[in-house]
Amino acid sequence: MIRKPEKSPIERRAVELDTIASVLPIDRRDELAELITDGDIETLRHLVNEGMGANTLRAITSDLAYIEAWALAATKRSLPWPAPEALLLKFVAQHLWDPQKRATDPDHGMPADVADNLRGQNFLKSTGPHAPATVRRRLANWSTLTKWRGLDGAFASPPLKSAIRLAVRAAPRKRQRKSAKAVTGEVLAKLLATCSTDNLRDVRDRAILMVAFASGGRRRSEIAGLRLEQLSIEAPIEVPDGPPLPSLAIHLGRTKTTNGEHDDVVYLTGRPVDALYEWIAAAKLESGSVFRGIGRWGTVSKRTIDPQSINAILKQRVEMAGLEAVEFSAHGLRSGYLTEAANRGIPLPEAMQQSRHRSVQQASGYYNDATRRSGRAARLLR
């Protein structure tokens, strides 16, 4: 009997990564297998079994791979668990630094050899310091992974918090919107005008745009993952100046800001419902994913559309409408919904019931942007 050669540790980890690929799509499996340890694999599998959202799990895995790669490049050693406070401070120092100081001091910030190493592995793309939000997110995920290993870390230590605060203050940077411009009602009308035929792609894209916007600016992952089983028909809405409007409930389940324990529901009324019904009928859908890919010959795929495709569809429609694609992204539908609500005088709490924002501060930012420039406070002297 011929015995098969045993797999190397890297090959074995690559296979184990495949076992959780259904919720953790990994395009760079072999590269990650060289960085991620056996302990990391067990941690990720535990998170999968605990029911963590796929998007959150992808983000944690991506951050873990980056941190592992950075530790190897910066210290020539594998990432220790738990990480000592000194290593956390080194991480902050090499990712939050002052470009002006770097111009006169080459040793300030991330060393050139570390940056070249990470850039060569496609882990590092920018030449400047990281965004504070990115550093905080990676530290938070690092802390989460440490806790899942049953270990304590120094992530809440005063020196680390102070280092982050002072680094951000020393090199302030303007926070960029996820979408430079909001997809307001006016912009949305231009995009919908490019979906005016009965062509299957037009029918699908029209439904995607209208449902994503009208349901409170749903995230692209929520739209891509929408299933027929999440939809329930509601009683028509009576209006004084016309026929009743069709109504539909979307049961969100787990989202970025909810754990799925409570039945979070948003509602569609009128034209978005008609657009959704038109797509379901045209695609002959009976169960499963609502929004799917369309083949070259007009064949509707059985698989759900990828979240990134939502962004690509929006940008394509933006270009077709004669607008600048670089100025818009799928998140513009989310910010656009709240901006449009503010423009129409809809109270913030009512808009938040549909958008499902948990933070009044975050949601009110869109209201402030919409009203502050033309408000009375900005016109004290005119």
Per-residue pLDDT reduced to its tens digit, 20-74: 444 444 455 555 666 666 677 667 666 665 555 666 777 788 888 899 999 999 9
Identify the top-confidence range among 171-180, 240-249, 355-364: 240-249
Please report the pLDDT score of residue 274 as a whole number. Answer: 94
**Considering Cα of 320, then 209, then 315, then 224, what sign does the dihedral take?**
negative
Please report the pLDDT score of residue 25 as a whole number. Answer: 44
Q: Predicted confidence band at 363 (pLDDT cuts at 50, 70, 90)?
A: low
pLDDT at 255 over 90: no
The better pLDDT of the pair 179, 280 is held by 280
**306 vs 173: CA distance, rounded Å:** 32
The better pLDDT of the pair 326, 89 is held by 89
Q: Are strands 292-294 and 265-269 parallel, antiparallel or unpaired?
A: unpaired
Are the CB atoms for 89 and 159 separated by under 8 Å?
yes
pLDDT at 169 over 60: yes
Please report the pLDDT score of residue 16 as a whole number. Answer: 54
**Radius of gyration, CA atoms only, the chain:** 24
Min mean pLDDT across 145-154, 172-181, 185-194 is at 172-181
pLDDT at 164 over 70: yes
Say if residue 104 is exposed, middle or buried (CB neighbours under 10 Å; 0-12, 13-18, 19+).
exposed
Q: Percent of the chain at pLDDT above 70?
A: 72
Min mean pLDDT across 73-82, 94-103, 257-266 is at 257-266
**258 vs 238: CA distance, rounded Å:** 31
Task: Annotate 270-312 with three-state secondary structure.
Answer: CHHHHHHHHHHHHHCCCCCECCEEECCCCCEEEEECCHHHHHH
Min mean pLDDT across 53-62, 188-197, 233-242 is at 53-62
Nearest residue to 295 (alpha-carbon basis) of 181, 197, 162, 201: 201
**321 vs 311: CA distance, rounded Å:** 15
pLDDT at 177 over 90: no
Min mean pLDDT across 222-226, 288-292, 336-340, 369-373 is at 369-373
**107 vs 104: CA distance, rounded Å:** 9
Q: Are strands 300-304 and 231-237 parallel, antiparallel or unpaired?
A: unpaired
Q: What does pLDDT average to over the chain?
A: 79
In 174-323, where do the E strands start and end?
Answer: 231-237, 245-251, 265-269, 292-294, 300-304
Q: Name residues whose C-beta falls within 8 Å of residue 325's C-beta, 6 or more positions apart in sequence.
A: 315, 316, 318, 319
Please report the pLDDT score of residue 1 as a whole number. Answer: 43
